[in-house]
Amino acid sequence: MKQLLTEKPKVLRMVDVDQPKIEGPKDVLVKIKAAGICGSDVHIYHGTSPVATYPRVMGHEITGVVAEIGKAVTRVKPGDPVIVDQIVACGECYPCKIGRPNICCALKVRGVHIDGGYREYLCAGENAMHLLPEGLPFTEAVMIEPMSIAFQACSRAEITAGDTVFILGAGALGKSIIKAALLTGATLIAADVADRRLEEAKALGVNLVINSQKEDLPAKLKEYTTWGPTVSIDAAGFPASLPLLTDLTCNAGRIITMAFLEEPSPVQQFKITAKELDIRGSRLQNNRFEEVIAAYRAGKITIEGQVSHVFPFSKAIEAFERIDSGDPSIGKIALSYE
Ligand code: MN
């Protein structure tokens, strides 16, 4: 079979390798149908991921069809359309034991620490398999993964209908968070520097949008909330964003960080202590695929319409070159393995 190997940063090669085989009784062999290219894949490709190792087969937004199953598999059968969970956890460490395998101390993420979906076949345990909803094309269904990241952030924030949630950044991540947060019934505020993204946020149902470049963000928030948002989610992730959110968030509020930013953020402990702020990280997702799929099935969220370009898997290297070209029409790319 073919696989796209990132030998080292910026060096991609399409190589021929043996097809993986079912090894354990709980293994499932998946014929991959589509895989998304995520911002984090582009970081791995560029050599700017703080977690990836090389050589690596990237790809963690993976959909396909079950090709073969081990003897003890009950969750799926050959022919089933699935999305593959990207998390492989040890099951033994503290976070695993308290039900948080997404931050396992020995965490392996497909496409990051171990090989992912930019190949024709993948073998994984049945627990990683989630049945896709009927009628959702494979190239669109890859977006269930980014949506699961947004569900995780909202879960970490413990949003209730009484909250006022401030989402900093209305790009792809911010928009997914908006969609997930809308399900909670909370009041939503989004800020960005691009009017186009704010218009999209407004169209999704955000109550108030603020252009933080043109408007006075603290003053606007104060005018709208008096005491500040009760939850702030950082979907922008720059060094000044965390100190900004410790300023803006209401006393007793929660702040959610999501970036893999290695640069330090100058935060005043005083703000955290005096306001009893909860600053919580949100990484990947903890069993959120089924929730996303259920919300989609119930018509509560949309998944389609976010992929701007589909490239055949054979042209995956070209897809990465197009991203590097800075072509403004390129939004989300899905690779199709037909
Ligand atoms: Mn992703």
Q: How far is CA 179 from CA 84, 102, 188, 326, in A?
A: 22, 22, 10, 27
Ligand 1 centroid vs 272 CA: distance in angstroms?
30
Ligand 1 centroid vs 268 CA: distance in angstroms?
32
CATH for 149-281 is: 3.40.50.720
Ligand 1 centroid vs 147 CA: distance in angstroms?
9
Three-state DSSP class for 7? Answer: strand
| Residue 338 pLDDT grade (very low, low, confident, very high; cuts 50, 70, 90) | confident
For residue 206, pLDDT over 90 is answered with: yes
pLDDT digits (tens, 9 = 90+) for 163-187: 999 999 999 999 999 999 999 999 9
- CATH homologous superfamily for 2-143+303-336? Medium-chain alcohol dehydrogenases, catalytic domain (3.90.180.10)
Q: Is 118 exposed, middle or buried (0-12, 13-18, 19+ CB in 10 A)?
A: buried
Ligand 1 centroid vs 229 CA: distance in angstroms?
27
Ligand 1 centroid vs 326 CA: distance in angstroms?
20
Ligand 1 centroid vs 222 CA: distance in angstroms?
34
Domain range list for the chain? 2-143+303-336, 149-281
Phi, psi of 181 (to 5 degrees): -70, -30
pLDDT digits (tens, 9 = 90+) for 51-76: 999 999 999 999 999 999 999 999 99
Same topology between domain 2-143+303-336 and domain 149-281: no
Q: What per-residue confidence (pLDDT) applies to 264?
A: 97
pLDDT digits (tens, 9 = 90+) for 97-124: 999 999 999 999 999 999 999 999 999 9
Ligand 1 centroid vs 61 CA: distance in angstroms?
6
The tokens for 316 are 């995956």
pLDDT digits (tens, 9 = 90+) for 2-59: 999 999 999 999 999 999 999 999 999 999 999 999 999 999 999 999 999 999 999 9
Task: Report d(CA 115, CA 67) in Å as an integer.
Answer: 19
Three-state DSSP class for 304? Answer: coil
pLDDT digits (tens, 9 = 90+) for 286-328: 999 999 999 999 999 999 999 999 999 999 999 999 999 999 8
Residue 321: in which H helix or E strand, if any?
A: helix 316-324
